[in-house]
Amino acid sequence: MLEIRYRDIDPDTGNITRDEMVCQCPTEMLAKWVYSAIVKESLDLDDPNREFYIKSNKPSLDEILRDAYLENKNEKVSNNSEN
């Protein structure tokens, strides 16, 4: 699932003051279509401090490797306690 999100950025500090989800899309093609429509419409709003983006909910490679490591480590501890 992909999320279309926006964030508001404080022009004085550069800090993100708000980060909100607009919608979720089940496919990349649909997410890109929705994103382009929202960006096109937002040009009329003239809000230079709002940024739209697509966020993937897929785990990163680091998260996958960490989870695999922890699962393997837990299996070894479990096997050692059975002996």
Q: Where are the domains of the chain?
A: 2-82
In this structure, what token pair is assigned to residue 46? 């003239």
pLDDT > 70: percent of the chain: 90
Q: Tell me the pLDDT tens digit for each residue of 42-59.
A: 877 777 789 999 998 777
Q: How confident is the model at residue 3 (pLDDT cuts 50, 70, 90)?
A: very high
What pLDDT was estimated at residue 79? 67
Q: What is the spatial distance between Cα 2 and Cα 58, in angstroms, rounded to a whole number?
A: 8
What pLDDT was estimated at residue 13? 92
With a CB cutoff of 8 Å and minimum separation 6, the contacts of 33 are none
Q: What is the mean pLDDT of residues 25-36?
A: 94
CB 49 within 8 A of CB 10: yes
What pLDDT was estimated at residue 58? 78
